Amino acid sequence: MTDPERLEGVPGRYWHRLEDGRIQCDVCPRYCRLNEGQRGLCFVRGRQDDRIVLTTYGRSSGFCVDPIEKKPLNHYLPGTPVLSFGTAGCNLTCKFCQNWDISKAREFDRLQDAASPEDIVEAAIATGSRSIAYTYNDPVIFLEYAVDVARVARRRGIKNVAVTAGYIDPAAREELYTFMDAANVDLKAFTEAFYNRLCTGRLGAVLETLDYLRHRTKVWLEITTLLIPGHNDSPKELGKLSDWVMTRLGPDVPLHFTAFHPDYKMLDLPRTPALTLTTARDIARKVGLKFVYTGNVHDERGQSTYCPGCGERIIGRDWYDITTWQLTGDGRCGICSTAIPGLFEAHPGNWGQRRVPIRFGRLERS
């Protein structure tokens, strides 16, 4: 019989002891209950020496400077570069995962870059990045690392962006979003059946996070829904989703409908047809949402921003290139002066389509 693996990591902050001797991780609504030496579903948190540890602190699956529009965020410093990184593992089990090589990785398979919070912030400044994105996998599961990086970033004038599925316990959520300036949250579908069957999660918990972000924080919020043919793209479901965003979050929250490509355990489906994306956009606009976008397809019309006051195209986009800019320095339409929600400056960035990988110190594999 082999000895159980020893879990090396930094202490987690959200857990408590149960009467039966197990320890419950309280980071996300899975609430994994662990015996000594066991890992949670996300694989990167586990119980060692009678406490929960995060095994991926300070270790990343890769760094890259991306356009902010790729997160996607269309109303947050358009055209600027964002230093993006993630770790390994995930707390959802989506069968359609578009990043599965990272999210499903056991950490030693992928974690090759070692970087301290100070290293990451220095790299952001050196590359001219205006923000750091916690992305590729979900910052929920590397919360302590993300918060430490974000704390340093904030001190140095760099913004923080969470790209997340929003599946997080309220106490952990409050800490994470104390340090975030913007978030793109996946709203993967609008039925509990979808979340249960394809992600083994709960829609209700994600809706709570969206409500919290919009009404109890100053975090700039955008939402993404990946449209999967036959699973979440019926006009009825898209109408309900849009209606919920409109009534609960308001007309100013940007909503992105993005195209699925066959991946991971859903290789038998086609890509999302362009018509499905434009139909979804029309449905959401009809219920009153002012800023609805298409993504992962070439669609200048669906990716551009239009003034809700005069209807003019105020930010033109061709993929990640900004082709039109008609905004004033205080974020108003340059034609009719309607205020446009988000964070804008007098001029957009000119980062364009570039993706520039960054290398930190390589970790020796154990």
Q: Which residues in this chain contact ligand SF4 in the complex, by CB under 6 A?
A: 25, 27-28, 30-32, 40-42, 45, 91, 141
Residue 208: how many CB atoms within 10 A of its CB? 16
Question: What whole-number distance in Å separates Cα of residue 143 and Cα of residue 83?
Answer: 17
Burial label, 155 (beta-carbon count in 10 A; 0-12, 13-18, 19+):
exposed
Report d(CA 297, CA 32) in Å as an integer. 38
Q: How far is the CB of 239 from ligand SF4 (least distance, A)?
A: 32
Which strands form 356-358's sheet, in the order they lie side by side? 292-295, 255-259, 220-227, 182-186, 159-164, 131-134, 81-86, 62-67, 356-358
Contact 187, 213 (CB under 8 A): no
Q: Are 187 and 224 in contact (CB under 8 A)?
A: yes
For 185, phi then psi, to 5°, come to: -110, 130
User: Given the complex with ligand SF4, which of 31 and 108 has the nearer CB atom?
Assistant: 31
Tell whether 90 is in a known binding site: yes
Q: Nearest approach, Cβ of 42 to ligand SF4 (angstroms)? A: 3
**Per-residue CA distances from 7 to 47, 50, 51, 108 (Å):** 8, 11, 11, 12
Find the DSSP H helices in 115-225.
Answer: 117-126, 143-155, 170-178, 192-194, 203-216
Residue closer to ligand SF4 by CB (options 27, 210) is: 27
Whether residue 97 is annotated as binding a ligand: the answer is: yes
Instruction: Compute the least distance from the CB of residue 73 to ligand SF4, in Å.
Output: 25
The nearer residue to ligand SF4, 142 or 220, going by C-beta atoms, is 142
Nearer to ligand SF4, 141 or 223 (CB): 141
User: Which residues, 6+ apart, have CB-to-CB distance to 125 below 8 Å?
Assistant: 156, 158
Q: Which residues are annotated as a binding site for [4Fe-4S] cluster?
A: 90, 94, 97
